[in-house]
Structure 1
Amino acid sequence: MSFWRVLLAIICPPLSVLGKGCGSVFIVFLLWLCGWVPGVIAALIILNNPER
């Protein structure tokens, strides 16, 4: 996880997970619409997952 991805996850979570697949972007976008904090948490979890 690079510094820039973390910063982008805080500012605009859906943009930070663009390279992780369409499903991840969709889930993070929906959570981001529900509230900023759930979107940021989901983006950071997805970015921290070493399997993808």
Structure 2
Amino acid sequence: MDNKVVKIIIALFIPPLAVYLHEGKVTKNFWINIVLCILLFGIGGIIHALYIVLK
């Protein structure tokens, strides 16, 4: 439970790191998150990271 809370907090500030920590390696979700962070000024990356961590 505590690990999930830490990932949620990281997702709010550094979304790609949260996705990487959750998945354990560089996956397509990591790259999607990087692109969303760049294109949508971070908001898309935050939403995507929270989705990945909470699913």
TM-score by length of 1: 0.82
* CA distance in 2 between partners of 1:23 and 1:48 (Å): 17
Q: Percent identity among equivalent residues? A: 27
Task: Please give the residue correspondences for 1:1-52 in structure 2 after superposition, counting only pairs within 5 Å.
Answer: 2-18=4-20, 19-20=22-23, 21-34=26-39, 35-49=41-55
| Count of residues paired in the alignment | 49
Give, in angstroms, the shift of residue 33 of structure 1.
0.7
Q: CA deviation at 1:9?
A: 0.3
RMSD between superposed Cα atoms in Å: 1.4
| 2:17 alignment partner, SS class | helix
Which runs of 4 or more aligned residues in structure 1 lie more than 6 Å from their structure 2 counterparts after TM superposition?
A: none
Structure 1 residue 3: Cα displacement: 1.2
Q: In structure 1, how many angstroms separate the alpha carbons of the residues matched to 2:32 and 2:53?
A: 13
